[in-house]
With several copies, the nearest count.
Chain A
Amino acid sequence: MATLFYLGRLMDALGTGTETLAIPPGVNDTAALRTWLDAERQLGGILTEPTVRLAINDVIVSEPCAISDTDEIAFLPPVGGG
Chain B
Amino acid sequence: MVSLLDHAFDATDALRAFEKRAAGAGAIVSFTGLVRDTGKFGEVMTLHLQAYSPLTERGIAAAVAEAEARWPLTATSVIHRIGDMAPAEPIVFVATASAHRRAAFEAADFLMDYLKTEAVFWKKETTASGDHWIEPRNEDYSDRDRWSKTGS
Contact = CB atoms under 8 A, between A and B. Distances in A.
B134 A55 contact: no
Contacts of A9: 122, 133
A11 B123 CA distance: 12
Interface of B: 33, 49-50, 52, 54-55, 58, 80-81, 91-92, 115-124, 131, 133-136, 140
A58 B54 contact: yes
A47 interface: no
Given A7-B52, A60-B55, A79-B122, 4 more contacts: A11-B50, A12-B133, A58-B55, A79-B119
A55 B53 CA distance: 11
Given A7-B52, A60-B55, A82-B115, A77 B91 contact: no
A21 B35 CA distance: 37
A5 B50 CA distance: 12
List 9 tightest A-B contacts by C-beta distance, closest first: A8-B122, A9-B133, A81-B116, A80-B123, A81-B117, A82-B121, A82-B115, A80-B134, A79-B120
Interface of A: 5, 7-9, 11-12, 55, 58, 60, 74, 76-82
A81 B122 CA distance: 7
Contact of B136 (A58, A60, A79): A79
Contacts of B55: 55, 58, 60, 74
